[in-house]
Amino acid sequence: MMQAHVQGELSGDFYEPLFTEMFGLDRSDYAGKRVLDVGCGPRGSLEWATMAAERVGLDPLADSYRRMGADRHEMSYVTGTIEEPALPADHFDIVASINSLDHVDDVSRAAHGLVRVLAPGGLLLVLTEVNHEPTATEPQSFSWDVVQLFSPPLEVLETRRLEKRGEAISDSARLGIQYDESDERPRPGVLVAKLRKP
């Protein structure tokens, strides 16, 4: 509830840049594509993607979101985790894990699940905090090399390291301040990675 107060009402204007500009994509890259948002939350994160063929949000709390009115969104919600996704293999053309990889129970199994549901030629988009202290809601902490869990089999197209600024990971993403590698103090950062399945 606090996050809603801080961020206000979230809509396509909030979500679209996280799925497009952040990864060097635009709306046309989503045209006719089957899109999955892992750890989607209750706010219609894919409603902006009206050009997509399929829009699915996967979240362990999806049943609760439906009770909150998420069924009115122009996307489907599936209850489950990416570690054991109740979704078809090799199906989605674009799979996004935006602020969700550090929320899972098992990072290696989550990486396997993300690769499993991604169609050949498809893109995996990862935006995650790294090197942070584990919390109850973000129990996983990992370093920049978490991207190695995906490659192989995925090809890494791009990675960027950003400074952690503000409360929400979206604040850091929008600011886009390059991580200062010369500052050797242990501190959190934000990883942006775009990968492709051969």
- Tell me the average confidence (pLDDT) per consecutive run of 10 residues in the chain, 198 residues long: 41 84 96 97 94 97 91 94 94 97 95 98 97 88 95 96 90 92 91 97
Report pLDDT for 100: 95
Residues 6+ apart with CB under 8 A from 127: 18, 22, 96, 97, 98, 99, 169, 173, 190, 191, 192, 193
Report pLDDT for 70: 87
Joined together, the tokens standing for residue 168 give 């929400």
Report pLDDT for 12: 57
Rounded distance, CA 130 to CA 164, Å? 9
Beta strands 34-38; 92-98: pairing state: parallel
